[in-house]
Structure formats: C-alpha cells, structure tokens
A and B are shown apart, each in its own frame.
Chain A
Amino acid sequence: MRAAIDSPLQAGDVEKFGAIRSRIDAIVIGASAGGVDALDVLLPALPRSLRPAVFVVLHLLSERPSLLVEIFAPRCALPLREADDKEPVVPGTVYFAPPDYHLLVDVGPRLSLSSDDRVNFSRPSIDVLFESAADLYKERLLGIVLTGGSDDGAMGLRAIQRAGGVTLVQHPDDAQVPHMVKAALAHVTPDFVLSLSQIAALLKSLDESNAAHGKGH
C-alpha cells in the first residue's frame, strides 16, 4: 500500500483532472492534526500563475495569533493572507481562516467571517467553509480533505459533491492522522484519493501558463 501511494500520479487521474481543471475557480482545503506539515507540501506546489482562489481552514489553538502566513509565505509563489471580513476574493490568492472565526465565502465573491458556535468542536470549521463555498462556486469548486483527528470536513465535502464540485481526499495511509480522511471517505466517494505528493503534482498542473498552451507537462 505504501508503495502505491508513493508512486507518481496514475495516467487515469491525470487525464480525469485534465478534463475538469479549467472549470475550477476556487479550491478549499481542510486540515487538522498534522495539517501544517501537509500544507507545507501542498502550498509551495501551487504555481505562480494559479487562477483559482484558495481557502484554507486549519484547526489551531484559538487563543494564539496565527502565524500561518509567516510560516508559509517564504516558500510560496502566491500571495498568502489571513482573511479579513468582507475582503473581495482575488484569484490566485491563498486565504487562511483566522483563529476563532469561521471563514465563509459570500456573494461577490467576498470573504465573510462569523463568531457563531463551534461546529464539530471547531471554530474555524471545515464544514462551514466547504458548505458556503459549495453554495457559491458549485461545480467550479475543488474540495480537499487532509490529515486530522476530527470529523470536520466530511459533511462539507459531501455538500461540494452534491453541488457538482470536485472532491479529493488524502489517502489514509499517507495521512499523519487518518481519522479525518476516513470520516470523509465514510460519507463521500470522492473523485480522487491521493497522497500528498500526488495532490501536489495535480495542483502544479493548474499552472495557467500551461493551460494557455492547451497542454500539460
């Protein structure tokens, strides 16, 4: 099993993703325990010319200021921001949910924050982000559930699938803490189940300069 997830992307996955990638306008990513390491593989893989906006919920201790932007910015080609309320969504930007707020996407598209009750014991909650983004972006959304010890993200990924969006779950054997991806897999049969390095390879293929020439690598 380990060998399988360490292998390069299967031709079938490359082809399947190639057929849908041009419709993706937004990517939502949810991670919990083990998430910093996982994002450290994925975010640097996002190409400079990425067109979709990227929204990230990572469960953190709520009382400390988030250092995510500082951690990842030096390694990323894209601008990274901690979300402010009502901020207009700029394509090719990565937005993190701030500690102790839910992050939602609203008409505009604009970012929207809320201090409402915790969902799945979490604020920010992955489900809250995923469900609001599914509402807005529908089939133009890619949702990714990564490592974690929570049930958060499963309902949100289902909402994305029901709205016609693309669903991707990290392979349980590849996740530092597999509980969250297993919970997602129990509710959704996703379009892709991949290792981090395979997900990174897919994200790299969202390079607009390639798409403009109508071919991949």
Chain B
Amino acid sequence: MATTAIMGYRVERRSTRSPLAWALALILAGACALLVCAGLFIAAGADPWQAFAALLKGGLGSKRAIAETMVKATPLILTGLACTIAFRARLWNIGAEGQVFAGAMFAYWCQSTLGDAPAPIQIAAVIVGALIGGALLGGLAGILKARFQVDEVISTVMLNYIIVYALSLLLQNGPWTEAGSFFEQTAMVPDAAQLPILLAKTRLHLGFLFALIVAAFVHVMLLRSSLGYEIRAAGSNLRALEFQGVKITRLIIVVMAISGAVAGLAGAFEVYGVQHRLKSGTLGGLGYTGIIIAILGQLRPMGVVAAALVFGVLLNGATLMQIKSGVPSALIYAVEAIILMFFLIAWAASEFRLRRLHHVG
C-alpha cells in the first residue's frame, strides 16, 4: 500500500489495472515523448513542426515510402518476436543483437557453399541457415544458463560483442573477404539467392511476408501449443513447472534456441533482401531495438508487428527529416529509448489511482 498523502488525496496501488487508466496513461506518455522530442529538435536548432512533418512524410508520404517502411519493419518484427518468445518465459535474451549476426553468417555460409543451385534451393538454404545460426548462438546462452547458471543477460551481451569480432575476423583478410575491397564486406550474393521483390520499384521483399507468417506462428505457438503453455508457465512460476517434472534445463535451452532462430532470420533477410552482401556494421542495433519492440508490443506477436511498423516509419522518415530540417537521424535511437521509458512509466503508473481519503489521519 502506498501511503503518500497529498492534499487529502492518496496514491494507492490497485490490484487490477483499469483499461481506462491504461489508455489515459498511454496518451499522456505519448504526449510526454513528443514533448521531449520537440525539445531535442529545438536543441538541434530545427523547427519541430517541420521536422515532425518531414518524419511522417518520409515514413508514410508515398507508396514507395510505405513500402520502405515495411522493409525497415521486417527485421524489427523478427527481433521483436525473438525477444517476445524469450521474455514470455522470463528469459532475458538480450542477445538478439548477436543472434542477428549469427543467423546472417550461418545463412551466408550455407548459401555460399551451394554454388550455382536454383533459386528456391538457395533461398531455402538461406532460411534454414539463418534459423540454425541464430539457434546455435541463442542455444549456447541457454546452455550457459541451464548448465552453468550463468546469467543470460550478461552472457548474451558478451556473446554479442564476441560474434561481431568473429564476423570482422572473417571479413578482414579472411575467407569471406571480397577480393580487392577496402571495406570489411563479402562480394555481392548471386541474384538467385536474393529474396524476391514483392512490389515492383520498391525494396519490399519476401522477408516481410515471411515475418508476418512467423508472427502468426508465434502467436499460435504461445497460446495453443504445449511448448507455449510451458513458456508462459515458466514466465509466471518456474518452480510449479519443475514440481510437475518438466525438465527446466531443456526448456531453457529450447526457448533460447527458438528465440535465437527467429532473430537469426532477421539478419539473413537483411543480407539477402536488402544489403545483398554481408558486411560488418549494417546489422547493428536491430536486436536492441527488438527489445523495445517486444515490450511496446506487450509481449504479444500482433502488438510486436504494430510496434515494428511504427518504428519502421520513424527509421524510414528519419532520412528525409535529416535532409529537410538538418536534425541528425541519430535522433531516432534516442527517441526509441525515450518512447520505451515513457511507455514503461505509463504501464507502471496506470496501476496507481488517486483516492480521496475518508478521513485525514
């Protein structure tokens, strides 16, 4: 019971959250986030209205802009789902960041060993490789937690750093280095391996559709399957599950591996749908943004898709915003974090209510 009394009113924590309070808190949080952003625009010497307008126009202004927003949202849907799966089991997989790299790398390895196979086989190799690569890295963190009691937050963060160095090792004077290139990158992948474009004259690729299918799959998996049942139970009370003889160590490893596999897809889709080559640097940040997406999506797959699309608008619009108003597009990373913080505060605050005291005492 909170007992802070102000002017005859008292702030109390309640056991249930009223939808009205939640909606109100959400609107307030959104307004606060907008205000802070406006402040940041002004600090950068830009006109907030102009900057916001450019941001929205860049993200939603045309058919092409919308398609590009969907391109930007694709990896975020997947990393958001990856985090959702793990977070639902209260496993704090912060490693989507590294699992994105692992998926891209393993996919590249699988696909590049195929040589001149027909397109469907190449793309299948990319997808399977991405799943395996992400699952390996995620599963490794799962093993570290289940067998060695290493906190998964720290192990996944460490693995994020390690995998980036590993990629750099392979790209710099390594087996994957593009001949004659100064940059740390591979050669372009063959056309047959590139993900088909869904909408002509845009970059919208098959990956977007695939991400939506994965979201639907995760939704059903969480709500209806036995594994989903165990994931949700683990998130609420791991011990009760253990008392029923469910093998917790196995569950942890499986969940981390599945979470990693989904994140791995994001990396491979970026490489084979957008970049068309593997290079260090361009995959960074997808996993960390996925954490935000998962939480904003309330750990629900459909919420994740919605949040990822909103963030797609921001990321996509940021370029136009920088051109039109001079506000650095790096703003978006700050804005993402600010939105997350206000969202968390709104979520917590809607648990409280003001109650008038019957008797001041």
A, B in one complex:
no
Residues of A within 8 A of B (CB): none
